[in-house]
């Protein structure tokens, strides 16, 4: 190669490198304007500010640069944006440690809170031993969580079919019941047979397990009560033919108030107004939504865990609260 060729080649390499830097600089400049807004906007405008950030390799590189080099006033907003765009996988080890530390600190004063979504699937296991429930299910990669963090994860999983579905929330024992929440707990959908077999297995070990579903957008209610491996009652307002067993006392109260006889599933025209699953759960074990207890006998702390066969599951992309 001649000297002129080597010089030309060198200029080409420099030009390409400069071009990549220019792209990053442009992205940083663009993101800086958005990060300024994100850093100062209140809670009401936070989602809108995040939605305006366009995802690209250059954007993520620029955000990571802000995390490493500043400016300091934008570092927190950059972390918020990175988690929104890529979830846990978008964070560098140092930032993961920061998030984990924040969770540990928050747990020390974290009040009992709801962990629900627009569509919520959950179980309650009669036990005061959270660790025993985790072990019985073969859950792995157990990690500390707060109620708000868990609620964020569950809401993302319930709304995003493309998100990795390998996480489940396991709450502390509250008044003698350990709750589990997440799409993996769906006892009334396509995996009903598999899920109900797990519920029956747990009930043989712990005595009693309940599975619930509640759709907050008028999408129905369901409950499945199992004791010592035997289904005592199963009801699903959106598929009445699958119901079985005698109505629970709270169901009979509703029917008496409506002047109805028999079972709720025998009255398809009226069943739309039946007591919601959250109220049924609060009456027979534990609600994880609107009717969750505020003061209670609490044993353990909230955690997230990977379901069997999923491997270490990462937190999905989304708008987070800790």
Phi and psi torsions of 214, nearest 5°: -140, 130
Phi and psi torsions of 177, nearest 5°: -130, 130
Q: Which residues contact 127 (CB under 8 A, 6 or more apart)?
A: 133, 173, 176, 177, 178, 206
CB atoms within 10 A of CB 238: 14
Contact status, residue 144 vs residue 168, Cβ threshold 8 Å = no
Strands (E), the chain: 119-126, 140-144, 167-170, 173-174, 177-181, 208-215, 221-227, 230-236, 244-245, 298-299, 303-306
Distance from first CA to last CA of the chain, Å, rounded? Answer: 59
CA count, 13 A, side-chain hemisphere, 221: 16
Concatenating the DSSP letter of every residue in 154-216 gives HHHHHH-TTS---EEEEPPEETTEEEEESGGG-SSSTTHHHHHHHHHHHHHHHSEEEEEEEET
Domain ranges of the chain: 3-91, 119-306
Instruction: Kindly compute the dihedral angle of the four CA atoms of residues 171, 175, 176, 182, in this order, to the nearest 10 degrees.
Output: -30
What is the spatial distance between Cα 79 and Cα 275, in angstroms, rounded to a whole number? Answer: 42
Q: Which residues contact 230 (CB under 8 A, 6 or more apart)?
A: 203
Phi and psi torsions of 206, nearest 5°: -110, -5
Per-residue pLDDT of the chain (322 residues; tens, 9 = 90+): 443 333 344 444 445 555 555 545 555 555 555 788 888 877 778 888 888 888 888 889 889 988 988 888 888 989 999 999 999 999 999 999 999 999 999 988 888 999 999 999 999 999 999 999 999 999 999 999 999 999 999 999 988 776 677 899 999 999 999 999 999 999 999 999 999 999 999 999 999 999 999 998 888 999 999 999 999 999 999 999 999 999 999 999 999 999 999 999 999 999 888 999 999 999 999 999 989 988 899 999 999 999 998 878 888 888 888 8
């Amino acid at each position: 190669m001649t000297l002129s060729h080597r010089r030309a080649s060198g200029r080409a390499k420099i030009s390409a490198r400069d071009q990549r830097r220019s792209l990053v600089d442009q992205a940083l400049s663009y993101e800086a304007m958005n990060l300024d807004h994100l850093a100062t906007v209140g809670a009401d405008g936070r989602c809108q500010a995040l939605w305006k950030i366009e995802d690209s390799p250059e954007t993520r590189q620029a955000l990571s640069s802000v995390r490493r080099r500043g400016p300091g006033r934008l570092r927190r907003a950059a972390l918020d944006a990175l988690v929104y765009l890529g979830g846990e996988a978008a964070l560098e080890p140092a930032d993961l440690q920061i998030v984990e530390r924040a969770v540990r600190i928050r747990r020390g004063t974290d009040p009992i809170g709801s962990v629900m979504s627009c569509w919520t699937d959950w179980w309650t296991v009669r036990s005061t031993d959270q660790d025993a429930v985790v072990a019985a299910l073969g859950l792995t990669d157990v990690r500390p969580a707060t109620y708000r963090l868990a609620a964020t994860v569950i809401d993302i999983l319930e709304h995003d079919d493309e998100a990795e579905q390998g996480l489940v929330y396991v709450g502390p024992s509250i008044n003698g019941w350990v709750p589990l929440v997440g799409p993996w707990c769906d006892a009334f959908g396509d995996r009903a047979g598999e899920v109900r077999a797990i519920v029956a297995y747990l009930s043989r070990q712990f005595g009693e397990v309940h599975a619930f579903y509640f759709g907050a957008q008028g999408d129905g209610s369901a409950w499945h009560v199992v004791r010592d491996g035997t289904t005592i009652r199963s009801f699903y307002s959106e598929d009445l033919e699958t119901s079985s067993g005698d109505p629970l006392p709270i169901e009979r109260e509703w029917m008496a108030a409506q002047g109805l006889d028999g079972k709720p599933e025998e009255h398809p025209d009226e069943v739309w107004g039946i007591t919601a699953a959250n109220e049924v759960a609060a009456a027979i074990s534990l609600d994880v939504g609107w009717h969750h207890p505020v003061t209670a006998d609490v044993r353990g702390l909230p955690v997230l865990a990977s379901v069997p066969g999923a491997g270490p599951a990462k937190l999905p992309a989304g708008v987070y609260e800790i």
